[in-house]
Chains A and B, each alone.
Chain A
Amino acid sequence: MNDFPPWKVWMLTAMLVIGVLLSIPSLLTEEQRAYIPEFLPQPSINLGLDLSGGVHILLEAQTEEFQEQRLQTLSDRIEDAMEDDGPTIEIGSLSRRGGAVTFTVRDEAQLDDAMERVRALTQPVGFTGQRDFSVENEDSLQIVVTPTEAGNAEAIDIAVNTATEVVRTRIDELGTREPTIIRQGTERIVVQVPGLDSPESLMALLGRTASLEFRLVNYEADPNMALACQAPIGSEAMPYANPADGTGCVIVQRRVMVSGDQLVNAQQGFDQRTGQVTVNLTFDGTGGREFGRVTQENVGRPFAILLDGEVLSAPNINEPILGGNAQISGSFSVQSANELAIALRSGRLPIELAVIENRTVGPELGGDSIRWGGLAGMIATIAVMTFMIVTYGRFGIYANVALGLNLFLILAIMALLDATLTLPGIAGFVLTVGAAVDANVLINERIREEQRRGRKVIDAVQTGYKEASRAIFDANITNFIGGVLMFSFGSGPVRGFAVVLVLGIVTSVFTAVTVTRMMVSVWIKNKRPTELNI
């Protein structure tokens, strides 16, 4: 047993001491941590939402609607291009069908020009050499514009990225602590807000597209069409947000006067005359000028305020609205007006998001879980340790020291890796208590066996460690495989369990084999025992 020279003993001890010290911040409360001097590193473990309480929401971008919207925008732009980019080209049967925009050019002589104008609307995609739409002249006068796969992917990618930023801004406005907002895959966003116990307001805020538009009402349209929610060409029929405001729809012009994209600020406020709750808007320079110009030209006519495709109100323009300020009212409560103001300030979501998973844990349940889980861990540790001492005596004590160190090391590594402790993770700790001593059981049983076969103290210990190591290694590898697969396929809390399990496997091989071996060898060297009580 001369394989532990003093320098090796000191090195291992130093490593263990550092490990234990690094685990301490995780065991303290926030107030206690405040007493640790600033210059010391203070890695501390994160609590999962199931322990700290909080809201976890998985949002998914609604790509189908987004594609539809993209086609609509394209079709509008084609219409504009044919009218404005040079001599007008007469086109007909402009439609969106089968995921493409098709139209016919009336005059064959203008076909090439029309193709050119549509091509000018397309954009290259990254460095792929592809463009976002393919333009084809299918038969004689018909032009088909189809979105390319690469173009779609890029548009969704950009939209989801922007949406992630918008979501971040909105949550930051709520003033909650340490929210996590991560984009997941191509179309999903994970939002985690610890300490928040009502998911409703958060979901209302995130699910809202907040597309605000001011449009002129098509007052010349047939009122019967408005009732039936039909619109003449160049106009759109929009439903009321609050059905009590009127029956049927409001027919508005397709062209948008100003939109929420041109806002610099939005605040909840009150109407000074009526006392109604309002949202006060401030437009940027161009938005304000445009708003002023259009209202000046249309005094006495109605305009509509649209939010996410629904009419909030459709007042008459009594006087030109200059100065770039406006006030919108609807049936708002202070809270809903506040939420709308936040949503408007943070900008429009470029793509609609739907909540596809929501998990909320109240702070009380989380606290309970920590208490009961901690108690179970303590009882299990004491029981297993007692059992080990009763069975293996001195070697049991060594195993117990190793077990204790092991638990501290797992905590320390988790804190360093910024890993998250979840409720199943606590169960992982308790399970590790039961499983980590397996290595020592294997070693100690082997030592007993070798002693029975007549080996002397040192020989028995050495053979015991050597022969048991092989099985310990193989057995831990299989657990490791299970743990890694669990981590890669699991989600949330299960991952927390896998982390503890996998780290526990790695650290337990170190503590239960190397560290106990060191302790045993130091003991043998100092005391030179002639027999082993094991």
Chain B
Amino acid sequence: MMRLLKLVPDDTNIRFLKWRNVAIILSIILTVASIALTVTRGLNFGVDFAGGQMIQVTFTEDDVAPIAELREDIDALGVEGASIQRFGDENQVSIRMRVTEGVDDDPELASAVSTRVTQMIEGEHAGARIDSVDSVSGKVSGELFRAGALALGLAMLAISLYIWLRFEWQFGVGALFALFHDVALTFGFFALTQLEFNLNIVAALLTIIGYSLNDTIVVYDRIRENLRKYRKMEIVPLLDLSVNETLARTVMTSLTMAIALVVLVFVGPDVLFGFTVAMLLGVFVGTYSSVYMASPVLIWLKVGSDTFVPEETSPSGQRIHKEGYDR
């Protein structure tokens, strides 16, 4: 028979939680640093959230995009504060313009600017191909921002609530901590790299929240099972046991997710770069946080064998559950 690959040997007994205090200090430092960085440095909001225009152009007849020339042409049009960057291939650029002043009174002004720039490019540069134009007024970007923030907040709350219902309140708190950590670190990453933060990134964040919890739930489920099974065991070894028992799965799943995402980062369309990088980061941060954030919280919140009432046997010999959950 074929010998199968085992990434994690059977019956590991790694004492993960021995380093919990170090880990928690590290996590706090990282979280605080991320928040500080996000506040001080700010995020590089795309047109979705900041408003303005973004135009992507491919110069099909040039090997390298004539960025300097383009900058002069755009300045000559009297468009202020345009930033031009290479995007994707050497002959592709993205032109970013901020919301024009006075646009609140006359929303047409915004599209007028992008129309002027695209017509100039098509007229001045032979072989220039306008790949995309995004023009978002301040009103719409404000709405998108609020909707994004609301979705993120609601998702964190709803998921924590669900965990509370399915497990116990301590687990809900633990999940919320882990989620907060993951989201904060992702924000920090975007503040640090100044990668564009747009609607797609919010989608990535919501996905991270979902999948980070995936790991947390698998570990929590095993903790609950073991709490019922080993009534006498101390909490720290019990958590370690649960993490070890689910370790093979954690590694496998993180790997399959990582494979899919790495392929997307390197092969997928350029437009999705930030989106996939964020999720890739989320896979690792999420796995870490379910072990080092979600589990230690249970120790501090005094979860013990009495948190869940064990299965009892009824006189008829049928097993009944005092906790109402699916068998």
Residues in A whose Cβ lies below 8 Å from that of B225: 467
How far apart sit A477 and B263, CA to CA, in the bound complex (Å)?
27
**Interchain CB contact under 8 A, B154 and A485:** yes
With most chain B CB atoms within 10 A of its CB, the pick from A423, A485, A492 is: A485
Closest to B268 in A: A376
**Interchain CB contact under 8 A, B4 and A494:** no
Let me know if A124 is at the binding interface, CB within 8 A: no
Given contacts A376-B263, A475-B218, contact A355 B108 (CB under 8 A): yes
Let me know if B65 is at the binding interface, CB within 8 A: no
**Interchain CB contact under 8 A, B269 and A369:** yes
Which segment of A270-278, A308-316, A387-395 sits at the interface? A387-395
Interface size on B, as a range, is 35 or more
Measured CB to CB, the closest approach of chain A to B296, in angstroms, equals 20
Which of A358, A424, A470 is close to B275, meaning CB atoms less than 8 Å apart?
A424
Which segment of A33-41, A199-207, A409-417 sits at the interface? A199-207
**Interchain CB contact under 8 A, A482 and B209:** yes
Which of B56, B139, B257 is close to A365, meaning CB atoms less than 8 Å apart?
B56
How far apart sit A356 and B5, CA to CA, in the bound complex (Å)?
56
Residues in A whose Cβ lies below 8 Å from that of B263: 376, 379-380, 383, 430
B107-144 near A? 1/0 per residue, CB < 8 Å: 11011001100110000000001111111110110001
**Interchain CB contact under 8 A, B139 and A356:** yes
Tell me if A's interface is mostly helix, strand, loop or mixed.
helix
Closest to A372 in B: B269
How far apart sit A354 and B213, CA to CA, in the bound complex (Å)?
43
B1-45 near A? 1/0 per residue, CB < 8 Å: 110111100110000000000000000000000000000000000
Let me know if B176 is at the binding interface, CB within 8 A: no
How far apart sit A380 and B1, CA to CA, in the bound complex (Å)?
27
Residues in B whose Cβ lies below 8 Å from that of A483: 206, 210
Measured CB to CB, the closest approach of chain B to A342, in angstroms, equals 19
Taking CB atoms and an 8 Å cut-off, the chain B residues in 212-268 that contact chain A are: 213-214, 217-218, 221-222, 225, 245-246, 248-249, 252-253, 255-261, 263-264, 267-268
Residues in A whose Cβ lies below 8 Å from that of B269: 368-369, 372-373, 423
How far apart sit A534 and B5, CA to CA, in the bound complex (Å)?
9
Which of A433, A473, A482, A493 is close to B155, meaning CB atoms less than 8 Å apart?
A482
Let me know if A361 is at the binding interface, CB within 8 A: yes
How far apart sit A289 and B108, CA to CA, in the bound complex (Å)?
38
How far apart sit A223 and B21, CA to CA, in the bound complex (Å)?
87
Let me know if A138 is at the binding interface, CB within 8 A: no
Which of B119, B159, B271 is close to A482, meaning CB atoms less than 8 Å apart?
B159
**Interchain CB contact under 8 A, A478 and B133:** no
Let me know if A58 is at the binding interface, CB within 8 A: yes
Given contacts A470-B221, A478-B159, contact A441 B252 (CB under 8 A): yes
Let me know if B303 is at the binding interface, CB within 8 A: no
Let me know if A30 is at the binding interface, CB within 8 A: no
Taking CB atoms and an 8 Å cut-off, the chain B residues in 70-116 that contact chain A are: 106-108, 110-111, 114-115
**Interchain CB contact under 8 A, A360 and B132:** yes
Measured CB to CB, the closest approach of chain B to A423, in angstroms, equals 6
With most chain A CB atoms within 10 A of its CB, the pick from B114, B210, B218 is: B210
A424-448 near B? 1/0 per residue, CB < 8 Å: 1011001101110110011001001
**Interchain CB contact under 8 A, A478 and B140:** no
Closest to B199 in A: A494
**Interchain CB contact under 8 A, A486 and B271:** no
A333-369 near B? 1/0 per residue, CB < 8 Å: 0000000000000000000001111111110110011
Let me know if B58 is at the binding interface, CB within 8 A: yes
How far apart sit A435 and B252, CA to CA, in the bound complex (Å)?
11
Given contacts A356-B140, A358-B135, contact A481 B162 (CB under 8 A): yes
CB-defined A-B contacts under 8 Å, sample of 5: A359-B132, A373-B269, A390-B4, A393-B4, A533-B2
Interface residues of B (CB under 8 A from A): 1-2, 4-7, 10-11, 56, 58, 106-108, 110-111, 114-115, 118-119, 129-137, 139-140, 144, 147-148, 150-151, 154-155, 158-159, 162-163, 166, 199-200, 202-203, 206-207, 209-211, 213-214, 217-218, 221-222, 225, 245-246, 248-249, 252-253, 255-261, 263-264, 267-269, 271-272, 275-276, 279, 325-327
